[in-house]
Structure 1
Protein backbone atom coordinates (compact mmCIF):
# COMPACT_ATOMS: atom_id res chain seq x y z
CA UNK A 1 0.00 0.00 0.00
CA UNK A 2 1.35 3.41 -0.97
CA UNK A 3 1.64 5.79 1.97
CA UNK A 4 0.79 9.33 0.92
CA UNK A 5 2.30 12.39 2.55
CA UNK A 6 -0.02 14.39 4.85
CA UNK A 7 -2.65 11.63 4.69
CA UNK A 8 -4.42 10.19 7.78
CA UNK A 9 -4.78 6.41 8.27
CA UNK A 10 -7.05 5.01 10.99
CA UNK A 11 -7.01 1.38 12.20
CA UNK A 12 -5.28 0.14 9.05
CA UNK A 13 -3.38 -3.16 9.05
CA UNK A 14 0.10 -2.78 7.51
CA UNK A 15 1.44 -5.99 9.10
CA UNK A 16 4.22 -7.72 7.12
CA UNK A 17 4.27 -4.76 4.72
CA UNK A 18 7.35 -3.84 2.69
CA UNK A 19 8.32 -0.21 3.32
CA UNK A 20 12.09 -0.34 2.97
CA UNK A 21 13.77 2.97 2.00
CA UNK A 22 10.46 4.83 1.72
CA UNK A 23 9.98 8.46 2.79
CA UNK A 24 6.89 9.45 4.78
CA UNK A 25 6.23 13.12 5.48
CA UNK A 26 3.41 14.59 7.58
CA UNK A 27 1.36 11.39 7.60
CA UNK A 28 -0.83 10.44 10.60
CA UNK A 29 -1.49 6.87 11.77
CA UNK A 30 -4.12 6.18 14.42
CA UNK A 31 -4.28 2.70 16.00
CA UNK A 32 -2.63 1.10 12.96
CA UNK A 33 -0.79 -2.23 12.94
CA UNK A 34 2.73 -2.61 11.57
CA UNK A 35 3.51 -6.02 13.11
CA UNK A 36 6.55 -7.71 11.50
CA UNK A 37 6.64 -5.09 8.76
CA UNK A 38 9.91 -4.37 6.95
CA UNK A 39 10.72 -0.69 7.56
CA UNK A 40 14.52 -0.72 7.19
CA UNK A 41 15.99 2.64 6.15
CA UNK A 42 12.53 4.24 6.29
CA UNK A 43 12.55 8.03 6.70
CA UNK A 44 9.70 9.69 8.60
CA UNK A 45 9.51 13.47 8.96
CA UNK A 46 6.80 15.18 10.98
CA UNK A 47 4.69 12.03 11.07
CA UNK A 48 2.37 11.09 13.93
CA UNK A 49 1.72 7.55 15.18
CA UNK A 50 -0.81 7.09 18.01
CA UNK A 51 -1.46 3.73 19.72
CA UNK A 52 0.13 1.85 16.83
CA UNK A 53 1.49 -1.70 17.08
CA UNK A 54 5.05 -2.31 15.81
CA UNK A 55 5.51 -5.76 17.39
CA UNK A 56 8.45 -7.54 15.74
CA UNK A 57 8.90 -4.77 13.18
CA UNK A 58 12.28 -4.31 11.46
CA UNK A 59 13.23 -0.63 11.79
CA UNK A 60 16.95 -1.11 11.19
CA UNK A 61 18.73 2.05 10.00
CA UNK A 62 15.43 3.97 9.91
CA UNK A 63 15.58 7.73 10.47
CA UNK A 64 12.89 9.78 12.19
CA UNK A 65 12.89 13.58 12.33
CA UNK A 66 10.34 15.45 14.43
CA UNK A 67 7.93 12.50 14.36
CA UNK A 68 5.72 11.35 17.26
CA UNK A 69 5.19 7.75 18.37
CA UNK A 70 2.86 8.05 21.38
CA UNK A 71 1.52 5.07 23.33
CA UNK A 72 2.84 2.68 20.69
CA UNK A 73 3.99 -0.93 21.18
CA UNK A 74 7.46 -1.92 19.93
CA UNK A 75 7.79 -5.32 21.60
CA UNK A 76 10.61 -7.26 19.95
CA UNK A 77 11.18 -4.58 17.30
CA UNK A 78 14.67 -4.10 15.82
CA UNK A 79 16.13 -0.57 15.94
CA UNK A 80 19.72 -1.42 14.98
CA UNK A 81 21.46 1.88 14.07
CA UNK A 82 18.11 3.70 13.86
CA UNK A 83 18.11 7.46 14.50
CA UNK A 84 15.52 9.62 16.28
CA UNK A 85 15.90 13.40 16.10
CA UNK A 86 13.65 15.49 18.37
CA UNK A 87 10.94 12.82 18.36
CA UNK A 88 8.11 12.40 20.86
CA UNK A 89 7.94 8.80 22.13
CA UNK A 90 5.74 9.39 25.20
CA UNK A 91 4.09 6.31 26.72
CA UNK A 92 5.51 3.78 24.26
CA UNK A 93 6.57 0.25 25.20
CA UNK A 94 9.97 -1.04 24.03
CA UNK A 95 9.88 -4.42 25.80
CA UNK A 96 12.45 -6.86 24.37
CA UNK A 97 13.30 -4.45 21.54
CA UNK A 98 16.81 -4.55 20.07
CA UNK A 99 18.24 -1.02 20.28
CA UNK A 100 21.94 -1.55 19.58
CA UNK A 101 23.61 1.42 17.92
CA UNK A 102 20.52 3.62 18.16
CA UNK A 103 21.00 7.41 18.08
CA UNK A 104 18.85 9.76 20.13
CA UNK A 105 19.17 13.48 19.41
CA UNK A 106 16.97 15.23 21.95
CA UNK A 107 13.30 14.35 22.09
CA UNK A 108 10.77 13.27 24.72
CA UNK A 109 10.88 9.65 25.92
CA UNK A 110 8.76 10.27 29.03
CA UNK A 111 6.62 7.45 30.50
CA UNK A 112 8.26 4.88 28.20
CA UNK A 113 9.02 1.27 29.11
CA UNK A 114 12.79 0.93 28.57
CA UNK A 115 13.40 -1.90 31.02
CA UNK A 116 16.76 -3.65 30.55
CA UNK A 117 17.65 -1.52 27.52
CA UNK A 118 21.38 -1.62 26.72
CA UNK A 119 22.70 1.87 25.94
CA UNK A 120 26.34 1.72 27.04
CA UNK A 121 28.45 4.67 25.81
CA UNK A 122 25.27 6.14 24.30
CA UNK A 123 24.80 9.91 24.00
CA UNK A 124 21.48 10.69 25.71
CA UNK A 125 22.28 14.31 26.35
CA UNK A 126 19.24 16.55 26.78
CA UNK A 127 16.73 13.73 26.28
CA UNK A 128 13.60 13.84 28.42
CA UNK A 129 12.95 10.63 30.42
CA UNK A 130 10.34 11.91 32.91
CA UNK A 131 8.91 8.90 34.79
CA UNK A 132 10.43 6.49 32.26
CA UNK A 133 10.95 2.90 33.46
CA UNK A 134 14.69 2.17 33.12
CA UNK A 135 14.76 -0.77 35.51
CA UNK A 136 18.01 -2.78 35.07
CA UNK A 137 19.00 -0.66 32.07
CA UNK A 138 22.69 -0.74 31.12
CA UNK A 139 23.90 2.86 30.83
CA UNK A 140 27.61 2.39 31.55
CA UNK A 141 29.61 5.40 30.26
CA UNK A 142 26.44 6.97 28.85
CA UNK A 143 26.31 10.76 28.42
CA UNK A 144 23.20 11.86 30.34
CA UNK A 145 24.21 15.48 30.77
CA UNK A 146 21.21 17.85 30.88
CA UNK A 147 18.77 14.93 30.52
CA UNK A 148 15.47 15.10 32.42
CA UNK A 149 15.19 12.06 34.70
CA UNK A 150 12.43 13.47 36.92
CA UNK A 151 10.88 10.57 38.88
CA UNK A 152 12.44 8.05 36.48
CA UNK A 153 12.53 4.46 37.74
CA UNK A 154 16.25 3.66 37.96
CA UNK A 155 16.27 0.62 40.23
CA UNK A 156 19.27 -1.64 39.52
CA UNK A 157 20.35 0.50 36.55
CA UNK A 158 24.05 0.25 35.63
CA UNK A 159 25.75 3.64 35.41
CA UNK A 160 29.46 2.88 35.79
CA UNK A 161 31.35 5.82 34.30
CA UNK A 162 28.16 7.66 33.20
CA UNK A 163 28.01 11.47 33.19
CA UNK A 164 24.92 12.88 34.93
CA UNK A 165 26.06 16.48 35.30
CA UNK A 166 23.23 18.92 34.72
CA UNK A 167 20.59 16.18 34.61
CA UNK A 168 17.31 16.86 36.40
CA UNK A 169 16.85 14.13 39.00
CA UNK A 170 13.93 15.35 41.10
CA UNK A 171 12.11 12.49 42.78
CA UNK A 172 14.76 9.90 41.86
CA UNK A 173 15.53 7.24 44.47
CA UNK A 174 19.33 7.45 44.74
CA UNK A 175 19.38 4.38 46.96
CA UNK A 176 17.97 2.13 44.24
CA UNK A 177 21.10 2.05 42.06
CA UNK A 178 24.90 2.04 42.30
CA UNK A 179 26.56 5.42 41.76
CA UNK A 180 30.14 4.15 41.77
CA UNK A 181 32.17 5.94 39.10
CA UNK A 182 29.29 8.27 38.12
CA UNK A 183 30.03 11.94 37.46
CA UNK A 184 27.67 14.23 39.43
CA UNK A 185 27.39 18.00 39.76
CA UNK A 186 27.20 19.80 43.11
CA UNK A 187 23.40 19.93 43.28
CA UNK A 188 23.13 16.19 42.61
CA UNK A 189 25.79 15.42 45.23
CA UNK A 190 23.81 17.43 47.78
CA UNK A 191 20.57 15.62 46.86
CA UNK A 192 22.39 12.29 47.19
CA UNK A 193 23.72 13.21 50.63
CA UNK A 194 20.26 14.30 51.78
CA UNK A 195 18.75 11.02 50.55
CA UNK A 196 21.00 9.29 53.10
CA UNK A 197 19.92 11.61 55.89
CA UNK A 198 22.75 14.10 55.81
CA UNK A 199 22.05 17.70 56.78
CA UNK A 200 23.59 19.99 54.19
CA UNK A 201 23.84 23.71 54.93
Structure 2
Protein backbone atom coordinates (compact mmCIF):
# COMPACT_ATOMS: atom_id res chain seq x y z
CA UNK A 1 0.00 0.00 0.00
CA UNK A 2 1.25 3.50 -0.81
CA UNK A 3 0.15 6.97 0.27
CA UNK A 4 0.50 10.31 -1.54
CA UNK A 5 -0.39 13.56 0.26
CA UNK A 6 -0.55 17.07 -1.24
CA UNK A 7 1.23 16.01 -4.45
CA UNK A 8 0.67 17.60 -7.87
CA UNK A 9 1.09 15.78 -11.21
CA UNK A 10 0.79 17.35 -14.66
CA UNK A 11 0.51 15.31 -17.85
CA UNK A 12 2.03 12.21 -16.24
CA UNK A 13 1.33 8.86 -17.93
CA UNK A 14 0.25 6.19 -15.41
CA UNK A 15 -1.23 3.96 -18.13
CA UNK A 16 -1.04 0.19 -17.47
CA UNK A 17 0.54 0.81 -14.05
CA UNK A 18 -0.28 -1.29 -10.98
CA UNK A 19 -1.60 1.33 -8.54
CA UNK A 20 -3.84 -0.87 -6.44
CA UNK A 21 -4.71 -0.24 -2.78
CA UNK A 22 -3.19 3.23 -2.66
CA UNK A 23 -4.32 6.26 -0.66
CA UNK A 24 -4.39 9.72 -2.28
CA UNK A 25 -5.06 12.73 -0.06
CA UNK A 26 -5.47 16.28 -1.41
CA UNK A 27 -3.51 15.43 -4.57
CA UNK A 28 -3.94 17.20 -7.91
CA UNK A 29 -3.74 15.46 -11.28
CA UNK A 30 -3.96 17.58 -14.43
CA UNK A 31 -4.30 15.93 -17.87
CA UNK A 32 -2.80 12.69 -16.55
CA UNK A 33 -3.39 9.32 -18.22
CA UNK A 34 -4.53 6.25 -16.30
CA UNK A 35 -5.51 4.18 -19.35
CA UNK A 36 -5.94 0.47 -18.43
CA UNK A 37 -4.30 1.14 -15.05
CA UNK A 38 -5.01 -1.14 -12.07
CA UNK A 39 -6.62 1.14 -9.48
CA UNK A 40 -8.61 -1.43 -7.54
CA UNK A 41 -9.42 -0.51 -3.93
CA UNK A 42 -7.68 2.87 -4.03
CA UNK A 43 -9.07 5.68 -1.87
CA UNK A 44 -9.04 9.37 -2.73
CA UNK A 45 -9.89 12.16 -0.31
CA UNK A 46 -10.13 15.80 -1.33
CA UNK A 47 -8.27 15.12 -4.60
CA UNK A 48 -8.76 16.90 -7.92
CA UNK A 49 -8.47 15.25 -11.33
CA UNK A 50 -8.76 17.58 -14.33
CA UNK A 51 -9.10 16.25 -17.90
CA UNK A 52 -7.62 12.89 -16.90
CA UNK A 53 -8.09 9.73 -18.96
CA UNK A 54 -9.24 6.60 -17.08
CA UNK A 55 -10.29 4.70 -20.23
CA UNK A 56 -10.29 0.97 -19.56
CA UNK A 57 -9.00 1.46 -16.00
CA UNK A 58 -9.91 -0.96 -13.21
CA UNK A 59 -11.44 1.04 -10.35
CA UNK A 60 -13.26 -1.84 -8.67
CA UNK A 61 -14.10 -1.22 -4.99
CA UNK A 62 -12.39 2.19 -5.03
CA UNK A 63 -13.65 4.83 -2.57
CA UNK A 64 -13.68 8.55 -3.32
CA UNK A 65 -14.61 11.17 -0.72
CA UNK A 66 -15.06 14.86 -1.61
CA UNK A 67 -12.84 14.44 -4.67
CA UNK A 68 -13.36 16.13 -8.05
CA UNK A 69 -13.14 14.41 -11.44
CA UNK A 70 -13.74 17.28 -13.86
CA UNK A 71 -13.96 16.61 -17.61
CA UNK A 72 -12.40 13.17 -17.16
CA UNK A 73 -12.85 10.15 -19.44
CA UNK A 74 -14.00 6.83 -17.96
CA UNK A 75 -14.79 5.09 -21.26
CA UNK A 76 -15.07 1.31 -20.67
CA UNK A 77 -13.65 1.71 -17.15
CA UNK A 78 -14.66 -0.85 -14.53
CA UNK A 79 -16.26 0.89 -11.53
CA UNK A 80 -17.83 -2.22 -9.99
CA UNK A 81 -18.91 -1.45 -6.37
CA UNK A 82 -16.94 1.84 -6.38
CA UNK A 83 -18.17 4.55 -4.01
CA UNK A 84 -18.36 8.28 -4.73
CA UNK A 85 -19.27 10.37 -1.69
CA UNK A 86 -19.84 14.11 -2.13
CA UNK A 87 -17.76 14.11 -5.31
CA UNK A 88 -17.81 16.57 -8.20
CA UNK A 89 -17.92 14.70 -11.53
CA UNK A 90 -18.97 17.52 -13.88
CA UNK A 91 -18.38 17.02 -17.57
CA UNK A 92 -16.96 13.50 -17.24
CA UNK A 93 -17.65 10.75 -19.78
CA UNK A 94 -18.84 7.31 -18.63
CA UNK A 95 -19.77 5.75 -21.97
CA UNK A 96 -19.64 1.94 -21.76
CA UNK A 97 -18.28 2.10 -18.21
CA UNK A 98 -19.32 -0.68 -15.82
CA UNK A 99 -21.35 0.97 -13.05
CA UNK A 100 -22.75 -2.15 -11.39
CA UNK A 101 -23.09 -1.71 -7.65
CA UNK A 102 -21.69 1.84 -7.63
CA UNK A 103 -22.63 3.97 -4.61
CA UNK A 104 -23.59 7.58 -5.35
CA UNK A 105 -23.69 9.52 -2.06
CA UNK A 106 -24.85 13.00 -3.12
CA UNK A 107 -22.42 15.02 -5.22
CA UNK A 108 -22.50 16.90 -8.53
CA UNK A 109 -22.80 14.82 -11.71
CA UNK A 110 -23.94 17.69 -13.93
CA UNK A 111 -23.05 17.62 -17.63
CA UNK A 112 -21.82 14.02 -17.37
CA UNK A 113 -22.21 11.59 -20.26
CA UNK A 114 -24.15 8.60 -18.93
CA UNK A 115 -25.70 7.52 -22.23
CA UNK A 116 -26.99 3.97 -21.99
CA UNK A 117 -25.77 3.59 -18.40
CA UNK A 118 -27.14 0.67 -16.38
CA UNK A 119 -28.44 2.41 -13.25
CA UNK A 120 -31.45 0.27 -12.38
CA UNK A 121 -32.30 0.10 -8.67
CA UNK A 122 -29.55 2.63 -7.88
CA UNK A 123 -29.90 5.07 -4.98
CA UNK A 124 -29.49 8.45 -6.70
CA UNK A 125 -31.26 10.54 -4.08
CA UNK A 126 -30.21 14.18 -4.00
CA UNK A 127 -27.73 13.74 -6.85
CA UNK A 128 -27.20 16.77 -9.05
CA UNK A 129 -27.64 15.65 -12.68
CA UNK A 130 -28.28 19.01 -14.32
CA UNK A 131 -28.02 18.70 -18.12
CA UNK A 132 -26.59 15.18 -17.76
CA UNK A 133 -26.87 12.99 -20.86
CA UNK A 134 -28.93 9.97 -19.76
CA UNK A 135 -30.12 9.06 -23.26
CA UNK A 136 -31.24 5.43 -23.25
CA UNK A 137 -30.11 4.91 -19.64
CA UNK A 138 -31.74 2.17 -17.60
CA UNK A 139 -33.16 3.86 -14.49
CA UNK A 140 -35.81 1.24 -13.71
CA UNK A 141 -36.72 1.27 -10.00
CA UNK A 142 -33.97 3.85 -9.34
CA UNK A 143 -34.47 6.20 -6.37
CA UNK A 144 -34.24 9.72 -7.78
CA UNK A 145 -36.01 11.53 -4.98
CA UNK A 146 -34.91 15.17 -4.72
CA UNK A 147 -32.35 14.71 -7.51
CA UNK A 148 -31.74 17.71 -9.77
CA UNK A 149 -32.55 16.63 -13.34
CA UNK A 150 -32.88 20.13 -14.75
CA UNK A 151 -32.71 19.94 -18.56
CA UNK A 152 -31.30 16.40 -18.37
CA UNK A 153 -31.45 14.39 -21.61
CA UNK A 154 -33.74 11.47 -20.79
CA UNK A 155 -34.86 10.47 -24.28
CA UNK A 156 -35.50 6.70 -24.45
CA UNK A 157 -34.51 6.34 -20.79
CA UNK A 158 -36.26 3.54 -18.92
CA UNK A 159 -37.89 4.94 -15.79
CA UNK A 160 -40.42 2.20 -15.04
CA UNK A 161 -40.91 1.98 -11.30
CA UNK A 162 -38.44 4.81 -10.59
CA UNK A 163 -39.16 7.17 -7.69
CA UNK A 164 -39.11 10.75 -8.98
CA UNK A 165 -40.87 12.43 -6.07
CA UNK A 166 -39.29 15.76 -5.19
CA UNK A 167 -36.90 15.63 -8.15
CA UNK A 168 -36.34 18.87 -10.08
CA UNK A 169 -37.32 18.17 -13.67
CA UNK A 170 -37.48 21.61 -15.24
CA UNK A 171 -36.90 21.50 -18.97
CA UNK A 172 -37.20 17.70 -19.18
CA UNK A 173 -39.13 16.31 -22.16
CA UNK A 174 -41.57 13.86 -20.58
CA UNK A 175 -42.77 12.71 -24.00
CA UNK A 176 -39.38 11.22 -24.88
CA UNK A 177 -39.12 8.70 -22.03
CA UNK A 178 -40.98 5.74 -20.59
CA UNK A 179 -42.37 6.61 -17.16
CA UNK A 180 -44.86 3.78 -16.84
CA UNK A 181 -45.14 2.87 -13.17
CA UNK A 182 -42.88 5.72 -12.03
CA UNK A 183 -43.74 7.47 -8.76
CA UNK A 184 -44.35 11.20 -9.28
CA UNK A 185 -45.40 14.07 -7.07
CA UNK A 186 -48.24 16.42 -8.01
CA UNK A 187 -45.96 18.99 -9.67
CA UNK A 188 -44.38 16.39 -11.95
CA UNK A 189 -47.76 14.88 -12.78
CA UNK A 190 -49.02 18.30 -13.85
CA UNK A 191 -45.89 18.90 -15.97
CA UNK A 192 -46.32 15.47 -17.53
CA UNK A 193 -49.94 16.15 -18.48
CA UNK A 194 -49.10 19.59 -19.87
CA UNK A 195 -46.33 18.08 -22.02
CA UNK A 196 -49.09 16.15 -23.79
CA UNK A 197 -51.19 19.28 -24.28
CA UNK A 198 -53.58 18.84 -21.35
CA UNK A 199 -54.95 21.95 -19.65
CA UNK A 200 -54.56 21.63 -15.89
CA UNK A 201 -56.45 24.14 -13.76
**TM-score bucket of the superposed structures, by smaller chain:** over 0.9
Task: Please state whether the residue corresponding to 1:112 is helix, strand or coil.
Answer: coil
1:7 counterpart residue number: 7
| 1:42 to 2:42 alignment | yes
1:100 counterpart residue number: 100
Separation (CA, whole Å) in 1 of partners of 2:17 and 2:200: 59
1:153 counterpart residue number: 153
Task: Please state whether the residue corresponding to 1:4 is helix, strand or coil.
Answer: strand
Aligned-pair CA distance for 1:118: 0.5
Structure 2 runs not aligned, ≥5 long: none
Alignment of 1:20-99 (within 5 A): 20-99=20-99
TM-score, normalised with respect to structure 2: 0.98
Separation (CA, whole Å) in 2 of partners of 1:96 and 1:3: 30
CA contact (8 A) 2:4 2:23 kept: no
CA contact (8 A) 2:64 2:87 kept: yes
C-alpha RMSD of the superposition: 0.9
Aligned-pair CA distance for 1:4: 2.6
* CA displacement 1:5-59 (0-9 Å, x = unmatched): 1111111111111111111000000000000100000000000000000010000
**Length, aligned pairs only:** 200
2:122 counterpart residue number: 122
Separation (CA, whole Å) in 1 of partners of 2:116 and 2:71: 19
TM-score, normalised with respect to structure 1: 0.98
Structure 1: 4+ residue segments shifted above 6 A: none
